[in-house]
Amino acid sequence: SAPVSFYGVHQAGIVTPAQDRLHFVAFDVTTDKRAELVELLQDWTSAAARMTQGKEAGTFGAVGGDREAPPDDTGEALGLPASGLTLTIGFGASLFDKRFGLADRKPAALADLPAFRGDDIVPEISGGDICVQACANDPQVAVHAIRNLARIGFGKVSVRYSQLGFGRTSSTSRAQATPRNLMGFKDGTANLKLEDTQLLREQLWAAAGDGQEWMDGGSYLVTRKIRMHIETWDRAPLSEQEAIFGRDKGEGAPLTGAKEFDEPDFAKNGADGEPMIADNAHVRLAHPSVHGGAHLLRRGYNFVDGSDGLGRLDAGLFFMAYQRDPHKQFVPIQRELAAKDALNEYIKHVSSGLFACPPGVTDAGDYWGRALF
């Protein structure tokens, strides 16, 4: 696919029609020198601008430089096209501790997420000072990009954790067909989409008046690694599976409608007098109408990380959602889901992350997070 423009008012990789593959990484910053951090962000930005256009990370490339020096590109993407690669950076709350003098620039929206009922969060795969989301239609291209950022960051950052994802579980544009998650359901039907201009302004992009001017045009990313108990799920009857989501499995229509994009009618009762979309159905509990109009732009991916040593696949959803203020959007929705969602019997949240993703890089003289420093 054609290269996605790296420069713009907003970072690419948010409303960009979701690519098929993910390599997500969270870094710990190991230097305590502010100047080194800024230099790293500048170096990363120029490498990202190149790689997203299908070029090698550095100007000499994998084989064009001094033979006695390590190459400035690792080489595994030689000959591959840009494959729709986007690289999107985010800053975690821990970057705003006293090391870099950024404490007074920490957005209120970056306050820690609360613990939710049923959480089983593993700290080693949660948080991080800086995250980078690489999305592409070729997994080799996504991995190459993250690997080269890690290489460039040697001595200044170390990889805290990384996550591969295959099979987008969301559409972020009406031009895309809705994909399916590992439970076999269409996922992303009622998502915020590129075409929802007014809602994106209200619900996705932070504005200067929100508190921190440097986040004007940015967005907040929540990540949750959600393990699915797929073996148990696969023994649940189809009728129960559909009741859990409140949608049918084939078409993806709400149980009160016939077509995928029909609006759910939560007031409608069946012949038995019970609501056709159950009180504990996922789409009822997550619906904007019960959260004061709060929406999310979901952009998650399926994962299978081998097996768990107990005779089961280690599979699930790497949930990612962008929004203007997680404490007004993700938090109330997840609180409701954690308390009541029928899906909880089949899932477990094992990681958590919250990142402030700055506005876009405007041109070659600009760099990721410039307004912050």
- Residues lying near ligand HEM in the complex (CB under 6 A) are found at 181, 183, 185-191, 224, 226, 228, 245, 247, 282-283, 286-288, 296, 317, 319, 330, 333-334, 337, 347
The structure tokens listed for 111 are: 């306050």
User: Which of 111, 153, 115, 108 minimizes the C-alpha distance to 131?
Assistant: 153
* CA–CA distances in Å: residue 37 to residues 99, 176, 253: 11, 38, 48
Between 156 and 299, whose beta carbon lies closer to ligand HEM?
299
Between 27 and 220, whose beta carbon lies closer to ligand HEM?
220
Q: CB of 347: closest distance to ligand HEM in angstroms?
A: 5
Q: CB of 246: closest distance to ligand HEM in angstroms?
A: 8
The structure tokens listed for 202 are: 């209200």
Half-sphere CA count of 173, side-chain side, radius 13 A = 9
Residue pair 93/100 in contact (Cβ under 8 Å)? The answer is no
Between 147 and 282, whose beta carbon lies closer to ligand HEM?
282
Q: CB of 222: closest distance to ligand HEM in angstroms?
A: 8
Between 205 and 245, whose beta carbon lies closer to ligand HEM?
245
Q: CB of 341: closest distance to ligand HEM in angstroms?
A: 8
CA 216 and chain centroid, separation:
19
Between 19 and 223, whose beta carbon lies closer to ligand HEM?
223
Q: Which amino acid makes up residue 318?
A: F
Between 99 and 249, whose beta carbon lies closer to ligand HEM?
249
Q: Which amino acid makes up residue 189?
A: T
Terminal-to-terminal C-alpha distance of the chain: 35
Q: CB of 63: closest distance to ligand HEM in angstroms?
A: 43
Q: CB of 294: closest distance to ligand HEM in angstroms?
A: 8
Q: CB of 163: closest distance to ligand HEM in angstroms?
A: 14
Positive or negative, the CA dihedral 233, 236, 238, 242 is negative
- φ/ψ of residue 356, rounded to 5: -90, 115
Between 88 and 241, whose beta carbon lies closer to ligand HEM?
241
Could you tell me which residues come within 8 angstroms of residue 98 by beta carbon, excluding any fewer than 6 positions away?
none
- φ/ψ of residue 217, rounded to 5: 95, 0
Q: CB of 362: closest distance to ligand HEM in angstroms?
A: 31
User: Which of 265, 268, 241, 269 minimizes the C-alpha distance to 342?
Assistant: 241
- Please state, in angstroms and rounded to a whole number, the distance separating the CA atoms of residues 71 and 74: 7
Positive or negative, the CA dihedral 291, 190, 301, 135 is negative
Q: CB of 189: closest distance to ligand HEM in angstroms?
A: 4
| Placement of tokens 């609180």 in the chain | 335
Between 95 and 281, whose beta carbon lies closer to ligand HEM?
281
- φ/ψ of residue 90, rounded to 5: -140, 150
**Coil vs helix vs strand at 7:** strand
DSSP 340: H
Between 45 and 191, whose beta carbon lies closer to ligand HEM?
191
For 223-236, the DSSP string reads: EEEEEE-HHHHTTS
Between 106 and 224, whose beta carbon lies closer to ligand HEM?
224
Q: CB of 98: closest distance to ligand HEM in angstroms?
A: 32
